[in-house]
């Protein structure tokens, strides 16, 4: 680890210590937030009891489905759109304004259309994630060097082998950026939707615990979601950085 990473770790430790202190001396009262050490203990108790296993499994499964579908559809659509200049120009305004539109506003509509099951939640996660994948796929394909493609033609590589040996590796860092965003957006979408209205999942359990003043369940669940999403994001960021370096960007 470099110096910045150590300082970062120290900073986070200091913030947690400060919170602990503020909770212990009563500046932050017990009803608002229990001390971090108690949250940690509650988390271990909660995980050991296994009472949240079904909720966690369901949420993570939905995140994986939303993410997987968004990645496959996003790369597929990106490749399809890339060749069509007219279509791409036509979609330009949609891509540009897409993330300005509050996708959650469509959630009520999806509930009416699909019922209060998993489908609307997955769809929200998918909708948030897919456009990021499409946009990064397009950027990645744009950056594939012309010379490499010409070399492929000179060597008479078929379309499949050109894709495998040249296009895919060249575009990989950008594809990975899209994938990384897709993970984050799938999490945000699914858990947000569970939060707003649903009857299962971690998002629902958090809001249920909130409504019952059950801090011993709420804070551990919040902690879990934060840890999992930050861990997934930093793993992918590290991989992305490695790929970028190997490509000579940086």
Partner 1 sequence: MSRFHPFSWNGAVLIGVLLIGWQLLFEIAGENAMAPPIATFAYLLQLLATASFWSNVTATAAAFLFALIIALVLGLLIGFALGLHRFSAEVGEAILVSFYSVPKITLYPIVLLAFGIGMPAKIAFGAIHGVVPMAIFTMTAIRTLDPVLLKTAKVMRLAPWAVVRTIIVPSTLPEVFTGLRVSFSLTLIGTLLGEMFGSQRGLGYLLMTAIGLQNVRMIMAVTLLLVLFAASVSVVLIAIDRRLHRATG
Contact set with partner 1 (CB under 8 A): 3-5, 7-8, 11-12, 31-33, 89-94, 96-97, 99-106, 108-109, 111-113, 183-184, 187-188, 191-192, 195-197, 203, 206-207, 209-210, 218, 221-222, 225-226, 229-230, 233-234, 237
Q: Tell me whether residue 139 or residue 149 sits nearer to partner 1 (CB atom).
A: 139
Q: Tell me whether residue 76 or residue 90 sits nearer to partner 1 (CB atom).
A: 90
DSSP state string for 118-136: SHHHHHHHHHHHHHHHHHH
Q: Tell me whether residue 144 or residue 188 sits nearer to partner 1 (CB atom).
A: 188
The nearest distance, CB 194 to partner 1, in angstroms, is 9
Residue 213's region, left for phi above 0, alpha for psi from -120 to 50, else beta, is left
Q: Tell me whether residue 200 or residue 229 sits nearer to partner 1 (CB atom).
A: 229
The nearest distance, CB 7 to partner 1, in angstroms, is 5
Identify whether the C-beta of residue 42 lies closer than 8 Å to the C-beta of residue 153.
no
Identify whether the C-beta of residue 127 lies closer than 8 Å to the C-beta of residue 103.
yes
Estimate the crossing angle of helix 53-83 against helix 119-142, to 10 degrees: 40
- 177 Cβ contact partners less than 8 Å away, ≥ 6 residues apart: 136, 240
Q: Which 8-state DSSP code applies to residue 249? A: -
The nearest distance, CB 160 to partner 1, in angstroms, is 33
Q: Tell me whether residue 100 or residue 154 sits nearer to partner 1 (CB atom).
A: 100
User: In this structure, what token pair is assigned to residue 224?
Assistant: 């879990």
The nearest distance, CB 92 to partner 1, in angstroms, is 6
Q: How many other CB atoms are there within 10 angstroms of residue 81's CB atom?
A: 18
Of the candidates 83, 79, 71, which has an alpha carbon nearest to the alpha carbon of residue 140? 79
Q: Tell me whether residue 37 or residue 237 sits nearer to partner 1 (CB atom).
A: 237
The nearest distance, CB 113 to partner 1, in angstroms, is 5
For 92, phi then psi, to 5°, come to -45, -50
The nearest distance, CB 137 to partner 1, in angstroms, is 20
How wide is the angle at C-alpha 246 spanned by C-alphas 245 and 250, nearest 5°?
A: 20
Q: Tell me whether residue 29 or residue 48 sits nearer to partner 1 (CB atom).
A: 29
The nearest distance, CB 244 to partner 1, in angstroms, is 15
CA–CA distance, 108 with 125 (Å, rounded to integer):
14
């Amino acid at each position: 680890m470099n110096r910045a990473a150590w300082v970062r770790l120290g900073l986070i430790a200091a913030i947690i210590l400060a919170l602990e202190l503020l909770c212990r001396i009563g500046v932050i009262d017990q009803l608002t937030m229990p001390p971090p050490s108690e949250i940690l203990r509650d988390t271990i108790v909660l995980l050991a009891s296994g009472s949240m296993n079904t909720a966690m499994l369901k949420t993570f499964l939905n995140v994986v489905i939303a993410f997987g579908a968004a990645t496959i559809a996003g790369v597929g659509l990106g490749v399809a759109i890339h060749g069509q200049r007219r279509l791409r120009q036509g979609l330009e305004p949609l891509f540009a304004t897409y993330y300005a539109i509050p996708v959650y506003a469509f959630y009520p509509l999806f509930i009416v259309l699909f019922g209060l099951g998993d489908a609307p939640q997955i769809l929200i996660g998918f909708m948030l994630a897919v456009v990021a994948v499409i946009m990064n796929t397009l950027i990645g394909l744009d950056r594939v060097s012309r010379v490499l493609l010409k070399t492929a033609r000179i060597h008479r590589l078929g379309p499949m082998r050109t894709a495998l040996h040249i296009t895919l590796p060249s575009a990989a860092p950008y594809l990975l950026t899209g994938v990384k965003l897709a993970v984050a957006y799938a999490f945000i979408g699914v858990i947000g939707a569970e939060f707003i209205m649903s009857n299962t999942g971690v998002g629902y359990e958090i809001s249920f615990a909130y409504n019952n003043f059950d801090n011993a369940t709420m804070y551990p669940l919040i902690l879990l979601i934060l840890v999992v999403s930050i861990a997934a994001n930093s793993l992918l960021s590290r991989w992305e950085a490695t790929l970028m370096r190997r490509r000579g960007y940086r």
